[in-house]
Amino acid sequence: MALDSKVPKGPIKDKWTDYKNKIDLVNPANKRHIDVIVVGTGLAGGSAAATLAELGYNVKAFAYQDSPRRAHSIAAQGGINAAKNYQGDGDSTYRLFYDTVKGGDYRSREANVYRLAEVSANIIDQCVAQGVPFARDYGGLLDNRSFGGVLVSRTFYAKGQTGQQLLLGAYSAMNRQIARGKIEMFNRHEMLDVVIVDGKARGIIARNLITGEIERHSAHAVVVGSGGYGNVYFLSTNAMGSNATAAWKIHKKGAYFANPCYTQIHPTCIPRSGDYQSKLTLMSESLRNDGRIWVPKNLEDVIAIREGRKKPTDLSEDERDYYLERRYPAFGNLVPRDVASRAAKERCDAGYGVNQTGEAVYLDFASAIERYGKEQAKIHNISNPTADKIYELGQAIVEAKYGNLFQMYEKIVDQDPYKTPMMIYPAVHYTMGGVWVDYNLMTTIPGCYCIGEANFSDHGANRLGASALMQGLADGYFVLPYTIGDYLSGDIRTGKIPTDTKEFDDAEKEVTDRINFFVNNNGSKSVDYFHKKLGKVMWDKAGMSRNAQGLTEAMAEIKAIREEFWKDVSVPGTADEMNPELEKAGRVADFLELGELFAKDALMRAESCGGHFREESAELDGPQKGEAKRNDEDFAFVAAWEYKGEPADAVLHKEQLEFKDIELKQRSYK
């Protein structure tokens, strides 16, 4: 199948405007005759559902949680990017575009990223109008802070609860449309298959997670906004319910999957404390604005700290290695996430990890507290303040900026981060890969769209901090509502899509047969047993450090785990009731397929990029070989592959790796 990205011609800054001026539209009177299904109600799905309903379409929205308010978008902490240049520090649409493409190791689709930068400012206006309580400065204007990989302050935030506040904004917009009858909300429902009729996506098969009932739902288009697949590693910062099922089901029905091995390893997570854990906890990247990352310079001090003979506060400045500031002076502690993660792992692998497992570095706020304290003392005209007074004033400022994050850390670790440095370590967070989409956000299945983290288009091999919320809301509020109309303009006379057809019969039978297998298998091992085994293979052999031998072994081991899973998995309970183990079984079955594809993609990419270090870079011949290398100071690539101006992306379908049939050339980036 030939892939057509449908990127408009012309200068990149004009593409989106010219495109909107020329696409077909559906007039308001006809929109009420068209149905759209939206799967997932996080920031991408929720904003899309609300906006499509506001435009007049009939929307069916599906969430596996009790409420859209429980979507994992609520967990986002640090902020959302937008090119408004409120700080007057040189930001612009182009600079946001450039930072995003460069931060993604030049592996994003540039036209999509420029559009994202263009609409970013509109997102903030939309959310302020919804009442999102963004932080404000002393004059009442919206405040900004910095995130990794950039030299400007463009991140809007609501303390450490930005995702929650933005999600409540989208949820309020959805509620208005639910009250009007334009959105039919299906909470506690999970999409288990997409239905293709005459080559087009025309509906889904869903399971009511309360009653177990299998339901058929039809529409003229299906939109998947179900998030990423980080839980393929078992341990990640994602909620335990986050899964890849919706995206994987459309892949198995013909939607291509792109870049599955591009996973973001977030540098500031609370380290694991044992094998019993089921998830990891994220500490916002915003903490790197004021926190300094370090490890002891001397191994003797590391051992003394691990054994409890020394505290980190006992070490003088000269005994500390602020390794990010030392290696990357231009960016310091605000290097991109992949650089910070790989640097932390390198220090810990060298034996400088400071906790009992040897997998932790320090994130220290002592300098910030002192700096803010002295500043506040001057503001309040306090002459010769005592050290205690400086500490008190400085802590109040840090608490105002990050208080809920510090509170969360103290509850989990039982240490006061105001008085002793936080411990952090990299963990799986976000997935840049996902379902392949064109410029319209349509997959390779006509009428099936994919938005937000579930698609692959905007972040290349690494996502800059505070860009996930930006992409989700851009897709839902400002991109999809335009592009989907161009497709739906051909359906104004189609009428309702019937569900009593062979296509729906076949899809429902496939779903039912799989469910019946799980509840009747009578195996001896739990679903979590297999999920943990998969996660260990993924982290050990397809995580931050990779090589051909390990990835080849990972593919064989995952295949063996999958075969054992289908023979020996045990799912208690029945299918006609609320059964969380049955839900998990289906999701882990999908992860076991995705995991092998993930490893295959990583094997074919003999390169280091994003958060992944390839121990050998020249094993394979062909376009996938060129290793990209960063300059420590400005992270510019000296070489990367491109397709006629667009970075190379691997597109995978039915476990085959296919590169676009276009001649490759090398290009230098400065």
| Three-state DSSP class for residue 89 | coil
With residue 50 as reference, give the H or E element that holds it: helix 43-55
Question: Strand order of the sheet with strand 656-658?
Answer: 434-435, 257-258, 651-653, 656-658
- Output the pLDDT for position 664: 27
Residue 526: both structure tokens together: 């739990």
pTM equals: 0.89
C-alpha–C-alpha distance, residues 24 and 114, integer Å: 22
C-alpha–C-alpha distance, residues 623 and 649, integer Å: 11
From-to residues of CATH 3.50.50.60 in the chain: 31-264+429-489
Question: Strand order of the sheet with strand 422-431?
Answer: 263-269, 422-431, 361-364, 292-296, 320-321
Q: Which residues contact 414 (CB under 8 A, 6 or more apart)?
A: none
From-to residues of CATH 3.90.700.10 in the chain: 267-428
Residue 279: burial class (beta carbons within 10 Å; 0-12, 13-18, 19+): middle
Q: What distances in angstroms separate CA 591 from CA 385, 503, 595, one per listed residue?
A: 58, 26, 6
C-alpha–C-alpha distance, residues 11 and 667, integer Å: 19
* Domain covering 267-428 in this structure, CATH number: 3.90.700.10
Residue 579: both structure tokens together: 């059964």
Task: Please answer whether residues 466 and 186 qualify as being in contact, where contact means their C-beta atoms are separated by less than 8 angstroms.
Answer: no
| Three-state DSSP class for residue 314 | helix
* Farthest-apart Cα atoms in the chain, separation: 83
Phi-psi map region of 644: left, alpha, beta (phi>0 left; psi -120 to 50 alpha): left
Q: What distances in angstroms separate CA 288 from CA 118, 344, 555, one per listed residue?
A: 27, 14, 36
| Three-state DSSP class for residue 291 | coil
DSSP strand pairing (200-208 vs 214-218): antiparallel
C-alpha–C-alpha distance, residues 182 and 173, integer Å: 12
Active site residues: 337
- Output the pLDDT for position 647: 39
With residue 264 as reference, give the H or E element that holds it: strand 263-269
| Three-state DSSP class for residue 422 | strand
C-alpha–C-alpha distance, residues 572 and 580, integer Å: 10
Q: Which of 1.10.3720.10, 3.30.70.20, 1.20.58.100, 3.20.20.70 is the CATH number of 521-656? A: 1.20.58.100
From-to residues of CATH 1.20.58.100 in the chain: 521-656
| Three-state DSSP class for residue 417 | coil
DSSP code of residue 491: G
Q: What distances in angstroms separate CA 601 from CA 2, 610, 666, one per listed residue?
A: 19, 14, 21
- Output the pLDDT for position 662: 26
Single out the residue of 409, 270, 268 nearest to residue 339, CA to CA: 268
Residue 465: burial class (beta carbons within 10 Å; 0-12, 13-18, 19+): buried
- Output the pLDDT for position 616: 66
Segment 83-114, tens digit of pLDDT = 999 999 999 999 999 999 999 999 999 999 99
Task: Look at the domain 31-264+429-489 and name its fold.
Answer: FAD/NAD(P)-binding domain (3.50.50)
Segment 302-341, tens digit of pLDDT = 999 999 999 999 999 999 999 999 999 988 998 888 889 9
Kindly report the number of other CB atoms within 10 A of residue 400's CB atom: 11
Q: Which of the residues in the chain have pLDDT under 70?
A: 616-670
Residue 491: both structure tokens together: 């359906």
How are the residues of the chain apportioned to helix, strand and coil, as percentages rounded to the nearest 5?
45, 15, 40
Kindly report the number of other CB atoms within 10 A of residue 358's CB atom: 15
